[in-house]
Structure 1
């Protein structure tokens, strides 16, 4: 069931979007941290932008 849900969520992401997903998820997770979150997420945001 989990694979089905993952497949449905990744279906709209074509090529580059699926490759950038780990960078985007990591950046979003780091941004939750107070004070240093946005600074720590900057490299991952740049990674996702470079892939796109």
Structure 2
């Protein structure tokens, strides 16, 4: 007995709807500030100078919000 195969088109539609539902709660400003926030969070991992290097990106995200 073989199992039914799920069409690729259906998987793509479900993936797009899931992504849309995940981004829906974010307002327009939050989506625009996301690159600044991700860069800031990545820089904060760096020891010693991470927080100082992340400050301009934090200010960027604050300005957008």
TM-score normalised by structure 1 residue count: 0.83
**In angstroms, what is the RMSD of aligned CA positions?**
1.7
Gaps of at least 5 residues in structure 2 are 1-11
Indicate the structure (1 or 2) with the bigger Cα radius of gyration: 2
The residue number in structure 1 matching 2:54 is: 41
Using CA pairs under 8 Å that are at least 6 residues apart, name the structure with larger relative contact order, 1 or 2. Answer: 1
> Where do 4+ consecutive residues of structure 1 move more than 6 Å?
none
Structure showing the higher helix proportion among its residues: 1
| Structure 1 residue 16 corresponds to structure 2 residue 32 | no
CA shift at 1:11, angstroms? Answer: 2.0
Q: Secondary structure at the match of 2:26?
A: coil
TM-score normalised by structure 2 residue count: 0.68
CA shift at 1:32, angstroms? Answer: 0.3
Gaps of at least 5 residues in structure 1 are none
